[in-house]
Chains A and B, each alone.
Chain A
Amino acid sequence: MTNYLSISDILVTNEKVPCKFLHDLPKMGFLDPSAADDDLKAGTNVEIPLWLAESLFSRRPPLVGVDLPKIYKETYREILNADACTVDMHKLGQHFYELGCYIAKHDIKGEVATTLINTFQQRFRMILSASVSTDSISSFQPLSASERDRTAAAMITEAALSGWLKRGDCPLTTANMVANHRKRKRAEMEML
């Protein structure tokens, strides 16, 4: 659900995904860099861009089967389900969520979908803390592209609000030390 001109979508659909070709395709050998032949044989596994994979998949009969990229497979899914906040999303997949949405369609069991949702919900808390922290954005456990955008937007809002509170003849701010002390006390209260 993105618009035609969405740069993010263009980048996402350019990502390569592993596919298995289900039919012989004459003259398409160039798609496989390791193939010697001019023709592509059925059963070959090749990584091709998502836009091509989806196009070939949507033919009737489908010309390829799309496999799950490594980061959406079981090993990684388990790590994410356990504690998504420790994962370096920038390294794992800058477009983790967006690509995941396309990939999830090819996952019959629906486990990718569950992991995506779970991961998103867990990491929301990170973005929440990041937005009120005074550290710069780069000090946080690296985020995916969309997480970074959301965090940056949240930081802007927070800065605008603090700016408003501080301005004028009545700066409504408390010393950081006092603020942290209160936060700790409040945390204790909430746990009671």
Chain B
Amino acid sequence: MSTEDLDLSADEEEITAETVLKTLQSAWQNERLAPEILPHRNDMVECMLGQIQHMERNINKLPKTDLRACIHKMELNRIKYIICNYLKTRLNKIEKYCISIVNEERQRTESGTNYLTPSEFRYAQEYLVNMENHLKNTVLNHVPGRMQTFEHNKMAVYPNLQSHVFLKANSTVNGIVLEDMIGDQDEEIDLEEDSQHILQYKPIADLVKNGKVQLV
């Protein structure tokens, strides 16, 4: 059996499949634990899907009872699980926060900082239309005329960015300000490398998105 060449020097930089997998795992973990939808990592997903395809072709050349086939298959199942769960988690958030995600994504598209992939965005918009139609048909069309509008801003559900999360600092980050919305005592904390904390998501949202901290 030919040994697989794992270097992805195809188009851009040289990243090993191993790194892609680690990044994807990390993205999956963050996506599971973050209150809001995070920027997509479709590049990683596509890359892994390509790797899986490549592997499966090679495995099929082996006899079914070959131990190596078994081992590779198991690994592929693990990777498939991560990808599926990652995408499913994102879809759940898209459905839950539909209206707010569609609005925010429209703004983000203008500045080129999309969080959703094109197909996710399409899904979000279609879901919104479906929901609106459903509610119109079942309820709104049967109520007095003046109340028939589907009020997007009232119906929108926003993720609770003040919700508390656990995180681990991948590298030292100093000077995180914990705003005290109630009193006037803003607190400033430092996140040492490898330290773990529980705090509100909002002050560290950017750190999650740029990889400086990992949600646990």
Q: Do chains A and B touch in the complex (CB under 8 A)?
A: yes
Q: Report the minimal beta-carbon distance from A44 to chain B, rounded to whole angstroms.
A: 31
**What residues of B have a CB within 8 angstroms of the CB of A3 in the complex?**
157-158
**B8 an interface residue at 8 Å Cβ cutoff?**
no
**B155 an interface residue at 8 Å Cβ cutoff?**
yes
**What residues of B have a CB within 8 angstroms of the CB of A4 in the complex?**
154-155, 157
- 8 Å CB contacts to A: which residues of B150-167? 154-155, 157-158
**What residues of B have a CB within 8 angstroms of the CB of A5 in the complex?**
155, 157
Count, chain A residues at interface, CB 8 A: 3
Cβ-Cβ contact count across A and B, 8 Å cutoff: 7
Q: Please name the residue on chain A nearest to B162 by beta carbon.
A: A1
Q: Please name the residue on chain A nearest to B158 by beta carbon.
A: A3
Q: Which A residues have a C-beta under 8 Å from some C-beta of B?
A: 3-5
**What residues of A have a CB within 8 angstroms of the CB of B158 in the complex?**
3
Q: Report the minimal beta-carbon distance from A5 to chain B, rounded to whole angstroms.
A: 7
Q: Report the minimal beta-carbon distance from B183 to chain A, rounded to whole angstroms.
A: 12
Q: Report the minimal beta-carbon distance from B166 to chain A, rounded to whole angstroms.
A: 14
Complex CA–CA separation, A4 to B157 (angstroms): 8
The contact string, 1 if C-beta is below 8 Å from chain A, for chain B 131-165, is 00000000000000000000000110110000000
**What residues of A have a CB within 8 angstroms of the CB of B157 in the complex?**
3-5
Q: Report the minimal beta-carbon distance from A128 to chain B, rounded to whole angstroms.
A: 16
Complex CA–CA separation, A5 to B158 (angstroms): 12
Complex CA–CA separation, A5 to B99 (angstroms): 14
Q: Please name the residue on chain B nearest to A6 by beta carbon.
A: B157
**What residues of A have a CB within 8 angstroms of the CB of B154 in the complex?**
4
Complex CA–CA separation, A3 to B159 (angstroms): 10
Q: Report the minimal beta-carbon distance from A172 to chain B, rounded to whole angstroms.
A: 22
Q: Report the minimal beta-carbon distance from A1 to chain B, rounded to whole angstroms.
A: 8
